[in-house]
Chains A and B, each alone.
Chain A
Amino acid sequence: MNLQLDSNGRLRHFLTIEGLPRELLTQILDTAESFSSVIGKPVKKVPLLRGRTVVNLFFEASTRTRTTFELAAKRLSADVLNLDIGTSSTVKGETLLDTLANLEAMQCDMFVVRHRDSGAAHFIARHVGPGVSVINAGDGRHAHPTQAMLDMFTIRQKKGDFAPLTVAIVGDIMHSRVARSEIHALNTLGAGEVRVIAPRTLLPPDIEDLGVRVFYKMEQGLKDVDVICMLRLQRERMEGAALPSEAEFYRQYGLNQQRLALAKPNAIVMHPGPINRGVEIESSVADGPRSVILPQVTNGIAVRMAVMAMAMGAVGEPA
């Protein structure tokens, strides 16, 4: 959606992967790579966003994502304001617009937004002033573009080129913003094949439209894949009658050593966290040599630095 780009095609808001050109995604990955060297240094700061104010506007609790956004902003030397607005205290849309108006009056430069409603980040982006950027840190089931980009960064780091890769995304596709953003990112970056593996109750209708092959059985879907992206299963799915039990889900769709053996020998295992051990994934796999779950967390900082710096116009176009 061109709401995300300025008239020169540069990133202004980062709301969804869908519709962004491949060059821009590659630029994010390249910029993140240059920042990842900063992270290794004893003084982990660059002055790119000095004097700018970044507001973490979290309407939905998330320690991990908020922390990495905060670290990323601080390493860019920005001033950071964390606002955890519990969903209980927000009453309908008026509050969202009111909250926004109040924050804008404080002359903030960027909002990092997490909200339970799909489209919330778009809504905010449409209502902020011309100099303000919005980064989507997860909206409902819609998108989690920085998570997808850190996954892409991790894949590129381990695998190099996307073209020959077969990637399987496993679990609750229906309710997952991570899955949607990963699918768009992988297809934009030219991954060879993107698969989703889930029972029908956890697959949204016409998911094939997004450019995926659908599998209902792990034994078929994992065959010869290069990358396995596991998703977190929420307990609400049992109450919503989408699944009988965690135990049955684990029996059918849990990633264990036996199933991992079906993938290519050097396949990597990812998970956006937090992990439900024994629900989506066996501990020995999560902690095993093929798991890149912790590198994902580290990479999250560099990728978020890249996106923030680009959206604020603080890094130039690559040659």
Chain B
Amino acid sequence: MSSMVIRNGRVLDPASGFDAVTDLYIQDGRISAIGEPPAGFAAATEIDASGLIVCPGLIDLAARLREPGATHKADIASETRAAAAGGITTLCCPPDTQPIIDTPAVVEYIRHRAEPSGIRVMPLGALTQGLQGQLLSAMASLQAAGCVAVSDGGRPVSNSRVLRQALDYARTFDLPVLLTPRDPGLSEGGLMHEGRVATRMGIAGIPQAAETAALGRDLALVEQTGARVHFGRLSTGRGAELIRRARRDGLPVSADVAIHQLFFTELDLWGFESMYRVEPPFRTAEDRDSLRRAVADGTLLLCSDHQPHQPDAKQAPLASADPGLSGLDTLLALVLRLVEEGVLPLRDALARVTVAPARVLGLDSGVIAVGRPADLCLFDPDAVWQLREDAMLSRGKNSPFIGWEFTGQTRYTVVGGRLVYSHAG
């Protein structure tokens, strides 16, 4: 039986607010005691966490691993390595792989491929067959194969009747549904935020209503069906406000924002900077600030929206460049940066990437408490480092943060009581 002790770390559990320098005891993959060792405890592994913060491992609701189907961009082995080094212990991969995650076979394939990494890779099942938005996927079978949630995989269901049925069917099995709030007609052909910058650049825009119109419909269907729905990747302040109100009204909804949305705006595309093409697009400074406030007040949680690309994917005019950024290497660093910039306190910031996403998925991880999985991130809050392209572990080097200096870096990552990463030196 494996056992581990983590000594002298500042143990910070965002869920309970527990925050003290103490020892953590781990047995059989779970936390068995905090402070005093359990009777007869003998540590097989001992980690000295002096000067480190010990928090729950990060849970990322949206990370494309590119496998199966796009292994010229990245693969499960490379991306789980990046996750481990980033303190991420659980990540969800959206179903828009090739083949699409709409059969148990694909679920099993991904889980099998991810196993050696030690990272908990959770494939999200497709909400509809082939993500076509027409026929329901075999949700119960996907659940039996290990899917903890189903998702539209970034391809919104345009037929409202199909979506209504999908939500009803998912609710039958108590499966959370992850939706992308984007009206396909309003966003079609758009490459960036519709507004003054796009007008100057002569770029087709995506209006804010592409998000709010979709949210309006989807929230009405949540009200109708009572399904648990999580909205992924918000980009507008108005959208965040709709979620805030829906939650206040007691609807079973939650939502997230890709963390890079809190650092850039439409202006970053000026000069046709293809790196900054993301979906949904970077919007106005007001939207960015509203999104930051929505993260601070708990309306939104955070994810990486990791989308690794091969180098030439961004070496093209905006219209031909692939959207999306590589984000696993920087998720924790950016969470800590939000704290540094005074957006929200450390405990709340960590909650947005630990206990909050765990609740969305109905997981018992994301907290540090006796009996819970020993999924932990140990980071040095004072380590200063610079993101260098050659030091990124993701195969996707498409990060606009290259060259940025960060404070705080992972030293050890533990999943199920097993050390999956330790910082060299």
Q: Do A and B come from one complex?
A: yes
Given contacts A93-B316, A94-B312, contact A119 B199 (CB under 8 A): no
**Contact flags (1/0) for A201-220 with B, using CB distance below 8 Å?**
00011110110000000000
Q: Do residues B199 and A204 form an inter-chain contact, with CB atoms below 8 A? A: yes
Number of interface residues of B (CB under 8 A): 23
Q: Do residues A118 and B318 form an inter-chain contact, with CB atoms below 8 A? A: yes
**B316 CB contacts on chain A under 8 angstroms:** 92-94, 96-97, 123
A33 within 8 A of B: no
**B198 CB contacts on chain A under 8 angstroms:** 204-205
B321 within 8 A of A: yes
Contact of B271 (CB < 8 Å), options: A1, A116, A204: A1
**Contact flags (1/0) for A83-120 with B, using CB distance below 8 Å?**
00000000011101100000000000000000111111
Bound complex: CA of A140 vs CA of B321, how far in Å?
15
Bound complex: CA of A119 vs CA of B204, how far in Å?
12
Q: Do residues A142 and B199 form an inter-chain contact, with CB atoms below 8 A? A: no
Within 299-335 of B, Cβ neighbours of A (below 8 Å) are at 312-313, 315-321
Bound complex: CA of A140 vs CA of B205, how far in Å?
13
Residues of A at under 8 Å CB distance from B? Answer: 1, 3, 18, 92-94, 96-97, 115-120, 122-123, 139-143, 177, 180, 204-207, 209-210
B200 within 8 A of A: yes
Residues of B at under 8 Å CB distance from A? Answer: 194-196, 198-205, 271-272, 274, 312-313, 315-321
Q: Do residues B202 and A206 form an inter-chain contact, with CB atoms below 8 A? A: no
Q: Do residues B196 and A97 form an inter-chain contact, with CB atoms below 8 A? A: no
- Measured CB to CB, the closest approach of chain A to B117, in angstroms, equals 31
Contact of B319 (CB < 8 Å), options: A3, A97, A140, A206: A140
Q: Do residues B199 and A120 form an inter-chain contact, with CB atoms below 8 A? A: no
Q: Which single residue of chain B is at the shortest CB-CB distance from A98? A: B312
Q: Do residues A119 and B318 form an inter-chain contact, with CB atoms below 8 A? A: yes
Q: Do residues B320 and A117 form an inter-chain contact, with CB atoms below 8 A? A: yes
Q: List 19 A-B contacts (CB under 8 A).
A: A3-B271, A92-B316, A92-B320, A93-B313, A93-B320, A117-B317, A117-B318, A117-B320, A118-B201, A118-B203, A122-B271, A122-B272, A139-B317, A140-B319, A141-B203, A142-B202, A204-B198, A206-B195, A207-B199
Contact of A210 (CB < 8 Å), options: B200, B313, B315, B319: B200
Bound complex: CA of A141 vs CA of B205, how far in Å?
12
Q: Do residues A96 and B320 form an inter-chain contact, with CB atoms below 8 A? A: yes
Bound complex: CA of A93 vs CA of B323, how far in Å?
13
**B195 CB contacts on chain A under 8 angstroms:** 205-206
Contact of B205 (CB < 8 Å), options: A94, A97, A205: A205
**B317 CB contacts on chain A under 8 angstroms:** 93, 96, 115, 117-120, 122-123, 139
Q: Do residues B315 and A97 form an inter-chain contact, with CB atoms below 8 A? A: yes
Contact of A119 (CB < 8 Å), options: B194, B196, B205, B272: B272
Q: Which single residue of chain B is at the shortest CB-CB distance from A176? A: B202
Q: Which single residue of chain B is at the shortest CB-CB distance from A124? A: B317
Q: Do residues A93 and B202 form an inter-chain contact, with CB atoms below 8 A? A: no
Q: Do residues B203 and A93 form an inter-chain contact, with CB atoms below 8 A? A: no
